[in-house]
């Protein structure tokens, strides 16, 4: 398969210079005579020499790699955006990513951490697949670590999370801007659950209503489970209210699927009869739904990018939580009642 690998010694001998000079050429050290540099470069090219990263790392004590531990990539399609963002940023910095899926198993996570420490990664990004609290072993303190889409109770590591409140508020405001006043919300989990998503989005919903002087009707706030089936049922109930909503804010695109279904089964059309806004911007759903669903996007790619940039920015040492806005993706599921 591969012919013999050349070393810096081979190049030095072939170019009739010292190894130091070759190294200098490799590293673009300015203290090399132009003629010499050329000569060396030619030999390098001719032999197709590839420097050994391993040897370099050993000597310089820099691995140029960053560990990326993901909580459970296979469960959600969001993982890819996170990885893509991190990946892009890493490339810009000339680093490579060592990715491992710890599959939500704390033991696997520790093992992953261990093999990364062995490889002397320059830092670690720990990414959860949905906004949640995590507890990390003390070992994570032995290397710079940043958290994505999660946080530790004691705020021991810098973290990045989506701005659920702003997302919920903007979603609701979009509906209000289109002159909706009876706006239902289907939450994605119990308000009492430990996950910040439902709580934050609901808070945003309340704030938006309040600022618009719309009274909150408790009949219009329902709690689902994130899936379409329950949302279907809830939507049916919502529409059989004496004063049904003109718009529904589904805290999950998956739930919006159920809502679409329920509305259509009632012979109602979207958005003529009822407007819908989702949350998550899960492309497969939002784009394929008929009509395409307006929804709030989760800033996964941005958070992934940020995590690497932040990790490599030596000047940063705080462990604060960075909050990323969720942008509105307008499609066609909202009708302007004022028009």
Which one among 10, 217, 261, 309 touches a copy of itself, defined by CB under 8 A? 261
Q: Which residues, numbered 280-339, are part of the site for a copy of itself (CB under 8 A)?
A: 282, 284-285, 287-290, 301
Does residue number 77 form part of the binding site for a copy of itself (CB under 8 A)?
A: yes
Quote the least distance from Cβ 81 to a copy of itself, whole Å: 6
Residues 6+ apart with CB under 8 A from 324: 160, 161, 162, 163, 299, 302, 303, 306
SS (H, E, C) the chain: CCCCCCCHHHHHHHHCCCHHHHHHHHCCCCCCCHHHHHHHHHHHHHHCCCCCHHHHHHHHCCCCEEEEEECCHHHCCCHHHHHHHHHHHHHHCCCEEEEEECCCCHHHHHHHHHHHHHCCCCCEEEEEEEEEECCCCHHHHHCCEEEEEEECCCCCCCEEEECHHHHHHHHHHHHHHCCCCCEEEEECCCCCCCCHHHHHHHHHHHHHHHHCCCCCCHHHEEECCCCHHHHHHHHHHHHCCCCCCCEEEECCHHHHHHHHHHHHHCCCCCCCCCEEEEEECCHHHHHHCCCCCEEEECCHHHHHHHHHHHHHCCCCCCCCEEEECCCEECCCCCCCCCC
Binding characters for DNA, 10-29, by CB under 7 A (x = yes):
------xxxxxxxxx-xx--
Question: Binding to a copy of itself by residue 119, rule CB under 8 A?
Answer: yes
Q: Is 89 a residue that touches a copy of itself (CB under 8 A)?
A: no
Q: Does 54 bind a copy of itself (CB under 8 A)?
A: yes
Which member of 38, 42, 46, 58 binds DNA (CB under 7 A)?
58
Nearer to a copy of itself, 76 or 321 (CB): 76
Site for a copy of itself in 221-260 (CB under 8 A): 227-229, 232, 254, 257-258
Q: Of a copy of itself, DNA, none, which one does residue 26 interact with (CB within 5 to 8 Å by kind)? A: DNA
Tell me which of DNA, a copy of itself, none is bound by residue 286, counting a contact when its beta carbon lies within the kind-specific cut-off of 5 to 8 angstroms.
none
Query: With binding defined as CB under 8 A, does residue 9 bind a copy of itself?
Result: no
Place of tokens 């940039």: 309
Q: Is 284 in the site for DNA (CB under 7 A)?
A: no
The yes or no reply on residue 9 touching DNA (CB under 7 A) is yes
Query: Which of residues 115 and 193 has its CB atom nearest to a copy of itself in the complex?
Result: 115
Residue 317, both tokens: 């040492």
* Alpha-carbon span 72 to 253, nearest angstrom: 20
Q: Is 267 in the site for DNA (CB under 7 A)?
A: no
Distance, CA of 96 to chain centre: 18
In the complex, minimum distance from the CB of residue 3 to DNA, in angstroms, rounded to a whole number: 13
Q: Does 265 bind DNA (CB under 7 A)?
A: no
Q: Is residue 42 a contact residue for a copy of itself (CB under 8 A)? A: no
Q: Which stretch binds DNA (CB under 7 A): 33-41, 154-162, 236-244, 326-334?
A: 33-41
- Does position 64 bind DNA by CB under 7 A? no
How far the first Cα of the chain sits from its last, in Å, is 69
**Which residues contact DNA by CB under 7 A?**
5-9, 16-24, 26-27, 30-37, 50-52, 54-56, 58-61
Q: Note the residues at the interface with a copy of itself (CB under 8 A).
A: 1-2, 50-55, 57-58, 63, 65, 73-74, 76-77, 79-81, 83-84, 87, 91, 96-101, 103, 108, 111, 114-120, 141-144, 227-229, 232, 254, 257-258, 261, 264-265, 282, 284-285, 287-290, 301
């Amino acid at each position: 398969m591969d012919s013999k690998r050349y070393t810096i010694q081979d190049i030095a001998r072939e170019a009739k210079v010292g190894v130091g000079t070759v190294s200098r050429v490799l590293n673009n050290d300015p203290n090399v005579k132009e003629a010499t540099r050329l000569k060396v470069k030619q030999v390098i090219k001719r032999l197709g020499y590839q420097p050994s990263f391993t040897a370099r790392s050993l000597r310089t004590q820099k691995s140029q790699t960053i560990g990326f531990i993901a909580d459970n990539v296979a469960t959600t399609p969001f993982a890819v955006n996170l990885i893509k963002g991190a990946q892009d940023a890493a490339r810009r910095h000339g680093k490579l990513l060592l990715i491992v899926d710890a599959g939500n198993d704390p033991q696997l996570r520790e093992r992953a951490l261990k093999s990364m420490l062995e490889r002397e990664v320059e830092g670690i990004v720990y990414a959860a697949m949905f906004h949640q609290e995590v507890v990390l072993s003390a070992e994570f303190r032995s290397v710079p670590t940043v958290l994505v889409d999660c946080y530790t109770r004691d705020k021991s590591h810098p973290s990045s999370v989506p701005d659920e409140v702003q997302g919920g508020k903007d979603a609701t405001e979009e509906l209000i801007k289109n002159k909706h006043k009876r706006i239902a919300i289907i939450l994605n989990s119990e308000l009492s659950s430990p996950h910040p998503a439902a709580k934050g989005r609901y808070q945003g919903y309340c704030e938006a209503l309040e600022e618009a002087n719309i009274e909150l009707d408790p009949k219009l706030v329902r709690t689902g489970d994130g899936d379409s089936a329950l949302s279907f049922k809830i939507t049916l109930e919502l529409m059989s209210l004496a004063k049904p909503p003109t718009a529904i804010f589904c805290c999950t695109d998956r739930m919006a699927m159920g809502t679409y279904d329920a509305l259509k089964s009632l012979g109602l059309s979207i958005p003529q009869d009822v407007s819908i806004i989702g949350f998550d911007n899960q492309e497969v759903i939002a784009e394929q739904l008929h009509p395409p669903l307006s929804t709030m996007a989760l800033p996964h790619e941005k958070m992934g990018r940020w995590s690497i940039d932040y990790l490599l920015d030596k000047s940063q040492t705080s462990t604060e939580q960075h909050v990323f806005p969720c942008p509105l993706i307008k499609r066609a599921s909202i009708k302007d009642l004022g028009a």
